[in-house]
């Protein structure tokens, strides 16, 4: 794969010069890697990188009632069973590489919390018979857990205080997804959905101030054909600005709050962007993995693709991770993290034969090529050596060509 910076040269009379020298970036081909086979796509998958750069993954295996934890060490995947009855869950890794998982027991519907002490998983029950349809876990600066979940038509917030679990009702609702982030002041922010009609939904933001929950509407979106498949993501940057990603009938959306005002952008106008995952890099620039679809659900060639979107010079770029037509996207989830160099690692499910398999994909940022190459864009010859030289005229435009 190549990314070319094309130097378009104009001579007198605005005629194009025939030969110029351009810079070429080479994108290595990195195949997706199988994490585990015979997994259950109705569960969730979560990723984390430890201090050594090793990848940690949690997911459901074989049946919904089997929560597994995998770590890649020395190029090999190592697997552990967290709970034989674990189902819906959310996973975090702290700065000391200790894992934390909140999950629902598939049989009892109890809400559990698990941490690992050396080689042993230590579990406790947060709430009995509390079937959570969706949940989210965040850790504060003291590694204390904060949890948001939806159960019995209520969005709830739970945290630990003096070794006891404290539960609060945030707002009534049946949102298919929630996300939680703790602000710089340690106070919680929650994003969720509220129905306005059969096809129209409101994206809502709940936050706590002076001990009370306050809500605001971030955006209105059309959800015809995919209600219940929404995934909302929420992050806060170092300046205290909130960032969100959410699906819409007219394309994947991104929202950012500066002060009291929300700004909405369209990331991908073609794909609705279900099952998205938003991550901010060290410069607070957004990166999003998500599911795209190439036709309507009634079409016989209805497949999803796995896509990755990022901002480059203020413009959203979309890269395919797993293209539509390969059954990728009959999955229900993508997850993403960024490594120390800002390169994304993305997980997704693929339906192969009779089984769902879990894959991870490394996207490596392109580097400058040291090898001269001949390119023929637009019928003109450009020689790639890494230095842009005009043979005649003045360079008036530089265009970044998409990877092909």
Computed over every residue of the chain, the mean pLDDT equals 78
Residue-range domains of the chain with CATH: 2-25+369-400 (no CATH), 29-365 (2.120.10.10)
Task: State residue 43's pLDDT score.
Answer: 60
Report whether pLDDT(370) > 60.
Answer: no
Interval 149-196: pLDDT, tens:
999 889 999 999 988 999 999 999 889 899 999 999 999 999 999 999
**CA 63 to each of CA 7, 158, 257: distance values in angstroms, whole numbers, following the listed order:** 55, 28, 40
Interval 60-96: pLDDT, tens:
876 656 899 999 999 899 999 999 999 889 999 999 9
Top-confidence residue, 309 or 227 = 309
Report whether pLDDT(272) > 60.
Answer: yes
Task: State residue 168's pLDDT score.
Answer: 95
Look at the pTM and tell me if it is higher than 0.85. Answer: no
Interval 221-267: pLDDT, tens:
988 767 667 889 999 999 999 999 999 988 999 999 999 999 999 99
């Amino acid at each position: 794969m190549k990314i070319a910076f094309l130097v378009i040269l104009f001579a007198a009379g605005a005629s194009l010069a025939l030969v110029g020298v351009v810079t070429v970036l080479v994108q290595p081909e990195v195949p997706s890697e199988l994490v585990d086979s015979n997994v259950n796509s109705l569960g969730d998958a979560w990723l984390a990188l430890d201090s050594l750069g090793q990848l940690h993954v949690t997911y459901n295996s074989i049946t919904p009632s089997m929560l597994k934890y995998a770590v890649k060490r020395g190029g090999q995947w190592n697997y552990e069973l967290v709970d034989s009855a674990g189902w819906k869950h959310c996973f975090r890794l702290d700065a000391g590489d200790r894992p934390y998982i909140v999950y629902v027991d598939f049989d009892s519907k109890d809400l559990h919390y698990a941490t690992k002490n050396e080689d042993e998983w230590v579990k406790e029950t947060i709430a009995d018979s509390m079937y959570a349809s969706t949940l989210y876990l965040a850790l504060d600066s003291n590694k204390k857990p904060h949890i948001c979940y939806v159960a019995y038509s209520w969005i709830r917030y739970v945290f630990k205080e003096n070794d006891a679990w404290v539960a609060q009702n945030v707002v009534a609702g049946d949102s298919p997804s929630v996300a939680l982030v703790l602000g710089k002041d340690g106070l919680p922010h929650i994003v969720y959905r509220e129905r306005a009609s059969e096809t129209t939904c409101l994206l809502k933001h709940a936050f706590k101030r002076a001990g009370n929950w306050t809500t605001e509407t971030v955006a209105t979106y059309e959800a015809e054909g995919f209600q219940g498949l929404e995934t909302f993501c929420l992050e806060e940057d170092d300046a205290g600005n909130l960032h969100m990603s959410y699906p819409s009938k007219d394309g994947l959306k991104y929202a950012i709050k500066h002060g009291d005002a929300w700004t909405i952008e369209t990331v991908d106008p073609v794909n609705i962007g279900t099952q998205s995952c938003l991550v901010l890099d060290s410069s607070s620039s957004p990166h999003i993995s998500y599911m795209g679809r190439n036709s309507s659900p009634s079409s016989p060639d209805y497949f999803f693709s796995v896509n990755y979107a990022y901002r480059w010079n203020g413009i959203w770029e979309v890269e395919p991770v797993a293209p539509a037509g390969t059954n990728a996207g009959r999955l229900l989830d993508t997850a993403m993290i960024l490594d120390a160099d800002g390169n994304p690692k993305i997980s997704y499910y693929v339906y192969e034969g009779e089984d769902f398999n879990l894959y991870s994909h490394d996207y490596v940022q392109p580097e400058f090529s040291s090898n001269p190459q001949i390119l023929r864009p637009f019928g003109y010859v450009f020689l790639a050596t890494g230095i842009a030289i005009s043979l005649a005229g003045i360079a008036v435009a530089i265009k970044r060509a998409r990877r092909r």
